[in-house]
Each structure stands twice: as structure tokens, then as C-alpha cells.
């Protein structure tokens, strides 16, 4: 992965590569590795790919001492700095550059196809990251020009929330409570003092018997008090009447 902080990061290392002198390009069809002297490499050593910011560097170093033999700064891939040959996947043409800005083209070959594959993928991944960073920077620049919405509350600003279903739920949820110390009202159709016979059925006729227990008979009215005959009235009548009057009562006059 590339490092955009100014430090140089190692991306890929291959312990053995070969450098070839290549003839000038004969035509515009591309380079061919078969035109090189593949059995006589001009140099052999270690290859390292590093990244610093958006630029990748292909460095050829001595495998024992680490001394730099040549390097190629790559600012775009695919591009003119690294070019694949037309007849093999293990060879590339690389444009190297010295400290004075002079450059030359060399042939770079790998002994194994897996190493050449890793070389290709390492460069692709680096510049894929560079592309993503450029797109992200453009998005941030475009967003910075758009004014941001201020959704915060101003000083003294309030909001009002109206909830209309609370009273309905409270009034609808209240239930009537039974009166009379917890006694439930009689069921519909019931009469005081007994249960109503179901419709369609006839209760057996029973003779009405007088209630002989006046203490338990709360529903029947109290009997009328009959006047008791005054048995002492006869004595009063007997003393006030004359002897001439014939006695009308059952008492014997002496």
C-alpha cells in the first residue's frame, strides 16, 4: 500500500531478477524477448518496489550488499516506464533514470512466472489506490463548496409536539365500578327476590303457603291489628242502668 505521509514503503521484493541489454525497437509492434540474449544477462540481483506518495519506484539492488544498481520512478501504470513484451509474460522493458535525469531502456526478466505476476499486481494495486485517493479528494473538495445546513436549535427556539390520542385512550380505558360496597348489579332480566324462569319453559304451579315465621318473612306485610272487645264494659253498663231495665248482657243481676 502506498504511503502518502512522505515515508517510503516497501510494496514488493523479489530476490532474483535479470537485466538485459536490448536492441533498439525495430518497429511499432512492440518489444520481443526472443531478440535478446536471454542466456547472457548483463546483471543479476534483487528487485524491490517501493512507494512514496503517489510514485512507485522499481529498484535494482545487489543481493548481498544492497547497493543500488538502477531505479525507475513510475508515475503511471500501464505507461511508458514499464512495458510488457509481446512474446512472453516473464519479461518487461523498463526505463531507468539516474540522479542527473538521464534515462535508458533495459530488459527485465524473472526466472519464475509467479514472480512476474506479483510484479505486475504490485504496480496495479498501487495505482488503483492512487486513483481512489484522487476521487476522494475531489469529493471532499466538492462538498466543501456546498453550504452546510444548520439543523441546530437557535437560542430561545422551542418546538411543540401535539399528541392527540392520549385523552381518548384514558377516557376509553376507564371502566365503571360496581356500587354498593363491591356488590355487582343483578344480571339483565333478573327480578328482585328470585331468578326469572327461561322463556319457553313453565314453572310448576305451587300453592301459595302462608309464611308462618314472621321473623324471616321480610317481604310480606304485617297483619292488621284487630280491636279486642272490652270485657269490662258490661260491668260499667250494669252499674249505671236502673233495675227496671231488663239486662241485655249475659251477666245475672242480684
Query: What element of type H or E holds 200?
Result: none
pLDDT per residue as tens digits for the range 166-208: 655 555 555 555 555 555 666 665 555 554 555 554 544 444 4
Q: Can you spell out the DSSP letters for 128-164?
A: HHHHHHHHHHHHHHHHHHSPPP--SPPTT--------
> Three cell numbers at 190?
333478573
pLDDT per residue as tens digits for the range 138-166: 887 777 665 666 677 777 777 777 776 66
Q: What are the residues facing 187 on neighbouring strands?
A: none
pLDDT per residue as tens digits for the range 106-125: 999 998 999 999 999 999 99
Is-contact 73 81, C-beta < 8 A?
Answer: yes
> Taking the model in full, what pTM does it have?
0.54
| Residue ranges covered by each domain of the chain | 9-143
CATH class as words, domain 9-143: mainly beta
Strand, coil or helix: what is 225? coil
Amino acid at each position: 500500500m502506498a504511503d502518502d505521509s512522505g515515508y517510503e514503503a516497501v510494496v514488493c521484493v523479489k530476490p532474483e531478477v535479470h537485466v538485459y541489454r536490448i536492441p533498439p525497437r525495430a518497429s511499432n509492434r512492440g518489444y520481443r524477448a526472443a531478440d535478446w540474449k536471454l542466456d547472457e544477462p548483463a546483471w543479476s540481483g534483487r528487485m524491490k518496489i517501493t512507494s512514496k506518495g503517489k510514485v512507485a519506484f522499481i529498484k535494482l539492488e545487489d543481493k548481498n550488499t544492497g547497493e543500488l544498481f538502477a531505479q525507475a520512478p513510475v508515475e503511471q501504470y500501464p505507461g511508458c516506464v514499464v512495458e510488457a513484451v509481446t512474446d512472453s509474460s516473464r519479461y518487461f522493458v523498463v526505463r531507468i533514470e539516474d540522479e542527473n535525469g538521464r534515462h535508458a531502456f533495459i530488459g527485465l526478466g524473472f526466472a519464475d512466472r509467479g514472480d512476474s505476476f506479483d510484479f505486475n499486481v504490485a504496480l496495479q494495486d498501487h495505482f488503483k489506490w492512487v486513483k481512489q485517493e484522487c476521487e476522494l479528494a475531489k469529493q471532499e473538495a466538492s462538498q466543501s463548496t456546498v453550504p452546510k445546513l444548520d439543523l441546530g436549535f437557535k437560542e430561545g427556539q422551542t418546538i411543540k409536539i401535539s399528541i392527540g390520542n392520549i385523552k381518548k385512550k384514558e377516557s376509553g380505558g376507564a371502566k365503571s365500578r360496581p356500587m354498593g360496597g363491591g356488590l355487582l348489579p343483578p344480571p339483565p332480566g333478573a327480578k328482585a327476590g328470585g331468578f326469572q324462569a327461561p322463556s319457553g319453559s313453565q314453572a310448576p304451579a305451587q300453592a301459595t303457603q302462608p309464611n308462618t315465621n314472621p321473623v324471616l318473612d321480610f317481604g310480606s306485610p304485617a297483619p292488621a291489628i284487630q280491636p279486642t272487645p272490652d270485657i269490662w264494659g258490661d260491668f260499667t253498663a250494669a252499674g249505671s242502668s236502673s233495675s227496671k231495665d231488663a239486662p241485655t248482657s249475659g251477666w245475672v243481676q242480684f
